[in-house]
Structure 1
Amino acid sequence: MIELRIRSARPADLDAVLAFWKAAAEGTSISDDRDGVERLVARDPEALILAEQQGELVGTVIAGFDGWRCHLYRLAVHPDRRRQGIGSALLAAAEERFVRLGGRRGDAMVLVRNESAHHAWRAAGYAPEEQWRRWVKPLSD
């Protein structure tokens, strides 16, 4: 088995992360651009967690903590590397970060149509809360 390296992203990684998301992540977000990811890493340098094998980016997760809640976004694993424990390793790193920061519960943004992601999140111990609905308002064009 190839060794998996988990680490926080650095500014030099951001173009590779954006390209990776186009190939490995489901859906898009208004924040999926260089400026958005730069702001994330500048504000919270440990929030964007990367998984690498032999120097190749194979997975990501954003583990954001606002001091009150723990939010998970952009859990993505390269399609050729899925079902090898990469997603689990990323989630473990995110959860360890949350516990270290005093977080008590993680929540994840998961696309309704992404059935394979539902299985992965359930296997990791997460469950949907049907009584909640995400409400959004774009603040810029």
Structure 2
Amino acid sequence: MIDLQIRTARAGEAATVLSFWKAAAEGTSITDDMDGVTRLIERDPEALILAEYEGRLVGSVIAGYDGWRCSLYRLAVLPSHRRRGIASALLEAAERRFLAVGGRRGDAMVLEANERARRAWAAAGYQREDHWRRWVKPFA
């Protein structure tokens, strides 16, 4: 593993995170905009966990906790920095956060077609639950 700095996102970093996701994440979400990321950071300052290497943003995960569920989103690592333990370090930080607030299980949103992500989540000990399906309704 490389020498990483793992930290939470700071106010004013939404544009940096969005730019990073364009380079590192697959798929988009209705909340992938300045307002969505800014609100996430303001509402739950510990949810957006970032990994930096030599001052450069190289990884992210959203570890959201609503008092009931531990939800994981946007686990992403720059393609040039993959396979160096960054995703594992981010998930460890997320899981520590969840354990500290009394979380019991982490639920990850993983794109069905993203085989690389599916392998990474499985390697981290997460299991697919085929008996559940996500139902959504956009409000905007």
What TM-score do the two structures reach when normalised by structure 2? 0.98
| SS of corresponding position for 2:59 | strand
| Aligned residue in 2 for 1:68 | 68
> Partner amino acid for 1:121?
W
| Distance in 2 (alpha carbons) for counterparts of 1:79 and 1:58 | 9
| Aligned residue in 1 for 2:95 | 95
Percent identity of the aligned residues? Answer: 69
| Distance in 2 (alpha carbons) for counterparts of 1:17 and 1:86 | 16
Contact persistence 2:21–2:76 (CA under 8 A): yes
| Aligned residue in 2 for 1:36 | 36
Contact persistence 1:2–1:54 (CA under 8 A): no
| Distance in 2 (alpha carbons) for counterparts of 1:59 and 1:85 | 10
Which piece of structure 1 moves more, 48-57 or 5-14? Answer: 5-14
Question: Runs of 5+ in structure 1 lacking a partner?
Answer: none
Question: Runs of 5+ in structure 2 lacking a partner?
Answer: none
| Aligned residue in 2 for 1:121 | 121
| 1:50-89 correspondence to structure 2 within 5 Å | 50-89=50-89
| Aligned residue in 2 for 1:20 | 20
Deviation at 1:121, TM superposition (A): 0.2
| Distance in 2 (alpha carbons) for counterparts of 1:41 and 1:61 | 13
Deviation at 1:12, TM superposition (A): 2.4
| Aligned residue in 2 for 1:109 | 109
| Distance in 2 (alpha carbons) for counterparts of 1:129 and 1:79 | 27
> Partner amino acid for 2:51?
A
Contact persistence 2:49–2:90 (CA under 8 A): yes
| Distance in 1 (alpha carbons) for counterparts of 2:131 and 2:105 | 17
Deviation at 1:3, TM superposition (A): 1.4
| SS of corresponding position for 1:7 | strand
> Partner amino acid for 1:76?
A
> Partner amino acid for 2:64?
G
What TM-score do the two structures reach when normalised by structure 1? 0.97
Q: How big is the alpha-carbon RMSD for the aligned residues of Structure 1 and Structure 2?
A: 0.8
Contact persistence 2:12–2:38 (CA under 8 A): no
| Distance in 2 (alpha carbons) for counterparts of 1:54 and 1:74 | 22
| Segments of 4+ moved more than 6 angstroms | none
Q: Give the total of aligned pairs.
A: 140
